[in-house]
Amino acid sequence: MDFDPTGFTITKIRRHAKWLIFDLAPHGHILSHLGMSGSWQMSHAPLSEKHGHIEFIDKNKSEFGVLTYIDPRRFGHLYVLNDENFKKKEDSLPIDISSPDFDKEQIALTLYSHPHKPIKPFLLDQKAFPGVGNYMASEICARAGILPTRLAGDIEADEIEKMKAAMDVVISGAVETKGTTFSGGYRDANGSKGEGVKHLVVFYQYHCQMCLERGKVTKIIKTTMAGRGTYHCPVCQK
Ligand SMILES: [Zn+2]
């Protein structure tokens, strides 16, 4: 902690890979990494949540006056940084998958430098694909028509193009729907279930939503890969 942020104002909250960045006025930034189980919740009054660790309180008492960081497993990190240290930290963060620099060449380079890794768990490697969460990894494979067990080195050029398109859809979905990405347990910051689940084609689905659009009914197959729930359609994905 470079300084005590008491009395400072949060002017903007943005995302970079798995980090949330709070821009502060008059100066400085807070960096929050949610770890495995962290989440931020907005509320009218302070939460009685026993795992609430940090509270920001809006003295103007606007609609949602309290922002609380909750982390039952305490794997998250929080840094309060001055502008100079923040710049250094920001420069060291990997290119986020939502960045224009994360294009199909970057995806190809990443895949072909780890050819023996199964694609779905590999998508969760934050050094390789910063910002991809578990539900996103299943959704990207589904929308790109790739089985989650395929090896990175076997993904073909046209499939990489589909992966890029799928990433764009999944990322924009997460943003439009109030940030499903940051909603540990699929809640948005107001504590309600994220709208994002409505747009999912395989994750947490009983039937493949892509098949349904073509008038076909296909049961989704759920497996576990590297300890994480994985969903795929046996018809749409090869
Ligand atoms: Zn399908």
Domains of the chain: 9-92 (3.20.190.10), 104-232 (1.10.8.50)
Question: What's the confidence (pLDDT) of residue 198?
Answer: 53
User: How close is the Cα of 103 to the center of ligand 1, in Å?
Assistant: 26
User: How close is the Cα of 210 to the center of ligand 1, in Å?
Assistant: 5
Query: How far apart are the C-alpha atoms of 212 and 215, rounded to whole Å?
Result: 5
Question: What's the confidence (pLDDT) of residue 158?
Answer: 96
Judged by phi (left if over 0) then psi (alpha if -120 to 50, else beta), residue 61 lies in left
Question: What's the confidence (pLDDT) of residue 183?
Answer: 35
What residues contact residue 194 under an 8 Å CB cut-off, 6+ apart?
177, 178, 179, 180, 183, 186, 187, 188
How do the pLDDT tens digits run along the chain, 238 residues long? 899 999 899 999 988 877 899 999 999 999 998 877 788 888 888 887 666 678 888 877 666 688 888 887 777 889 999 999 999 998 888 788 888 888 999 999 999 999 999 999 999 998 899 889 899 999 999 999 999 999 999 999 999 999 999 998 888 765 444 444 433 344 445 444 444 445 799 999 999 999 999 999 999 999 999 999 999 999 999 9
| Cα-based distances in Å from 213 to 73, 216, 236 | 40, 7, 12
Token pair 């689940």: residue: 197
User: How close is the Cα of 171 to the center of ligand 1, in Å?
Assistant: 21
User: How close is the Cα of 157 to the center of ligand 1, in Å?
Assistant: 22
Question: What's the confidence (pLDDT) of residue 184?
Answer: 37
DSSP secondary structure code for residue 28 in this structure: -
Question: What's the confidence (pLDDT) of residue 195?
Answer: 47
Torsion 235-221-158-112 (CA) sign: negative
- Which residues have CB less than 5 Å away from ligand 1 (the ion)? 208, 210-211, 218, 233, 235-236
